[in-house]
Chains A and B, each alone.
Chain A
Amino acid sequence: MTTEAPAKTFDLATSSVRELNQFLHRVKEGANLPRWRVLNPRGVHAIAAGVDADVTIEIDGDVGYYCAGMNKQATVIVNGNAGLGLGENMMSGLIYVKGDVSQAAGATAHGGAIVIEGNASGRCGISMKGVDILVKGSIGPMSAFMAQAGTLTVFGDAGEALGDSIYEAKLYVRGSVKSLGADCIEKPMEDIHRAELYERLKLAGAAGEVDIGDFRRYGSARALYHFHVDNAGAY
């Protein structure tokens, strides 16, 4: 943290989210990696959606729906809570939220990482396609529904129907799981999984915070991968 460029500010009390996003979309490779500070977000939607540049955007306050949606490369820090669909369909980069987040955080996200200090509501990681999500609090029901790839790590508890119809995503939960969804099962936690989990925590800067040995692993039983009459009840 020595050569950090000074942050430029963008005040959403006096400018529109359109102006902010248009500006961020013009930041391309070769810019001197500026840091942006966004003031007075006041729950506005689509803040920093569609950014495709290696910049840091720090938002001071609560954000509305789809903050950092489809993010590529950028580091987006929310010093507050986030509304629905945080980082939906993110491709790469990092999203870090100090507070709690609403439903469908990281929905369909393909890559990058999302770190949530607080809790995440239902459908966290729904249809995720490669993102690594870390929630330090608990997550709501129907999380990781149809999750295809990536990891979802939860320090707290998980709500009902975790991992319903899950494909190949990996779920690590330290607390309790209210119930597992169709075709989601607990799987043995072996050395390679502990190593993977450690790696994820390290990347999120959370390696020392918890005991890896406390986590349990969940994933697909792969019984619904082919239509079969005997599984009709599960569909």
Chain B
Amino acid sequence: MNDQTRVPRTLPRFSATFDPQTTSEIRRAAATGIYDIRGGGAKRKVPHFDDLLFLGASMSRYPLEGYREKCGTSVVLGARFARKPIELKIPVTIAGMSFGSLSAQAKEALGRGASAVGTSTTTGDGGMTQEERGHSSILVYQYLPSRYGMNPDDLRRADAIEVVVGQGAKPGGGGMLLGQKISKRVAAMRTLPEGIDQRSSCRHPDWTGPDDLEIKIEELREITDWEKPIYVKVGASRPYYDTALAVKAGADVIVLDGMQGGTAATQEVFIEHVGIPILAAIRPAVRALQDLGMHRKVQLIVSGGIRNGADVAKALALGADVASIGTAALIALGDNDPRFEAEYQALGTTAGAYDDWHEGRDPAGITTQDPELAKRLDPVAAGRRLANYLSVLTLEAQTIARACGKSHVHNLEPEDLVALTVEAAAMAGVPLAGTSWIPGSPVG
């Protein structure tokens, strides 16, 4: 034996910059020549609600009795201009997800689950289906650049209208639905040939900028005789100014979607690199509302990575009125369930990581138009799971609110929060735990 072979070797070391994920993407790009498209939201770690903590009650703040004292959760949306505002029983709603990206069964399940607990669902880039109108007691109708399936009858059938300017996963990007999911029914609803790769535009065809939007909103109000609340949805990027401009344009409700927010199909580079985390967006949006005297008059719905009642409570404490969920709702229905592990493996992935939603081969039958796969989702059972999950989110948010001594979840406030990291303290505008230090200077 040679002495030299016994020289200790350092372990093979992966580069933090060129990690295995990165190098595998370089090889994929080199082999195909086209960017990666996937569903879901940003997967990398960004400052989030986990970086905040509630202080709870202490000598100077009195808690409410957990199961006895009332802690309200309802919220009225749209009272600014709409003749028929809507009331949600819980401060959580289901975000817009298109029929096309989701199966008809999944849309029905969302409607059933949300209705069971008194909250709303939202259509998406693909029009309104009978299933979701029928099963959603409160349905928000999205008004998107593509205007697929848009018609005045559905507009009037809706309970509220959401003008979509942007989405957190892709502020500045349009939609895409690849050929595998453009079934006969989806194609007919969108006035497109079957099986083509569909791109929807990123800008509205008949207005540009906030001054036009004001006139567009007036038109929508005229068509619906000023009945419906009108929301404006933006991806989180310049939340102070976007909120102020949406208020100026006449919105009843602002929907603010952070970069973690899910999408049906978008370029990976877009999902991971454009837009800001919801944690950083709420305070500037609230400040814009406060500066205009509109906080709690124009409601703020926030989304992007909301998972549990603590996230909901933190979003409300920062000044939002409602939290909205997409990805979590799909998981509650059964998306990425480990019981389909063998099938996820066959697709080259694993339960919990499956994000090729654009391919329409979802073993759980949710992000697909394949009738056989879609049949796997029982809308009644899935709706019940969603209702359970929404109840848990609400109970958890109430638990925290009571611990902070609040008789309504909307009484939570930034003063109930501290941050675990300097970044989160700066973004959320709350002190670093154990200090009175709020780093950074507010926008606007």
Q: Which residues of A contact B (CB under 8 A)?
A: 17-18, 21-22, 25, 45-46, 49-50, 52, 64-66, 69-70, 72, 84-85, 88-89, 91, 103-104, 107-108, 110, 123, 126-127, 129-130, 145-146, 148-149, 165, 167-168, 225-227, 229, 232
Closest 10 CB pairs of A and B: A50-B223, A85-B206, A229-B33, A108-B147, A104-B206, A225-B196, A70-B152, A107-B206, A66-B219, A126-B205
Q: B19 interface residue, CB < 8 Å from A?
A: no
- A168→B205 contact, CB < 8 A: no
When chains A and B are docked, how far (Å) is the Cα of A165 from the Cα of B218?
A: 30
Q: State which of A45, A108, A227 has its C-beta within 8 Å of the C-beta of B218.
A: A45
- A66→B215 contact, CB < 8 A: yes
- B193→A50 contact, CB < 8 A: no
Q: B192-225: which residues lie under 8 A (CB-CB) from chain A? A: 192-193, 196-197, 199, 201, 205-207, 212, 215-216, 218-219, 222-225
Min CB gap A74→B, angstroms: 12
Pull 30 A–B residue pairs with CB atoms less than 8 Å apart, ordered by A: A22-B225, A45-B215, A45-B218, A46-B215, A46-B222, A49-B219, A65-B219, A70-B151, A70-B155, A89-B147, A89-B150, A91-B152, A104-B205, A107-B205, A107-B206, A108-B206, A110-B191, A123-B205, A126-B206, A129-B147, A129-B191, A148-B190, A148-B192, A165-B199, A168-B193, A225-B193, A225-B197, A226-B196, A226-B197, A232-B34
B158-199 contact mask (Cβ, 8 Å, vs A): 1 or 0: 000000000000000000001100000000001111001101
Min CB gap A113→B, angstroms: 17
- A25→B206 contact, CB < 8 A: no
- A46→B193 contact, CB < 8 A: no
- B205→A127 contact, CB < 8 A: yes
Q: B146 interface residue, CB < 8 Å from A?
A: yes
Q: How many A-B residue pairs have CB under 8 A?
A: 106
Q: Which of B147, B193, B199, B225 has the most CB of A within 10 A?
A: B147
Min CB gap B401→A, angstroms: 41
| Chain A residues whose CB sits within 8 angstroms of the CB of B190 once the complex forms | 148
Q: B58 interface residue, CB < 8 Å from A?
A: no
Q: State which of B32, B34, B215, B224 has its C-beta within 8 Å of the C-beta of A65.
A: B215
- A72→B152 contact, CB < 8 A: yes
- A49→B205 contact, CB < 8 A: no
| Chain A residues whose CB sits within 8 angstroms of the CB of B216 once the complex forms | 65-66, 85
Min CB gap A41→B, angstroms: 14
- A91→B206 contact, CB < 8 A: no
Q: B28-69: which residues lie under 8 A (CB-CB) from chain A? A: 32-34
| Chain B residues whose CB sits within 8 angstroms of the CB of A84 once the complex forms | 206-207, 212, 215
Min CB gap A96→B, angstroms: 20
Q: State which of B193, B205, B219 has its C-beta within 8 Å of the C-beta of A108.
A: B205
Known: A66-B206, A107-B206. A17 touches B222 (CB 8 A): yes
When chains A and B are docked, how far (Å) is the Cα of A108 from the Cα of B223?
A: 16
When chains A and B are docked, how far (Å) is the Cα of A45 from the Cα of B215?
A: 7
Q: State which of B179, B191, B192, B218 has its C-beta within 8 Å of the C-beta of A226.
A: B179
Min CB gap B175→A, angstroms: 12
Min CB gap A59→B, angstroms: 15
Min CB gap B214→A, angstroms: 9
- A49→B206 contact, CB < 8 A: no
5 extra interface residue pairs, beta carbon distance < 8 Å, beyond A46-B223, A130-B191:
A45-B215, A49-B219, A108-B206, A123-B206, A226-B196
- B34→A227 contact, CB < 8 A: yes
Min CB gap B190→A, angstroms: 8
Closest to B179 in A: A226
When chains A and B are docked, how far (Å) is the Cα of A210 from the Cα of B295?
A: 60
| Chain A residues whose CB sits within 8 angstroms of the CB of B215 once the complex forms | 45-46, 64-66, 84
- A69→B205 contact, CB < 8 A: no
Min CB gap B184→A, angstroms: 15
- B201→A167 contact, CB < 8 A: no
- A227→B147 contact, CB < 8 A: no
- A148→B191 contact, CB < 8 A: yes
When chains A and B are docked, how far (Å) is the Cα of A130 from the Cα of B151?
A: 13
Closest to A109 in B: B147
- A167→B192 contact, CB < 8 A: yes
Min CB gap A167→B, angstroms: 6
- B225→A25 contact, CB < 8 A: yes
| Chain A residues whose CB sits within 8 angstroms of the CB of B219 once the complex forms | 45-46, 49, 65-66, 69, 85, 88
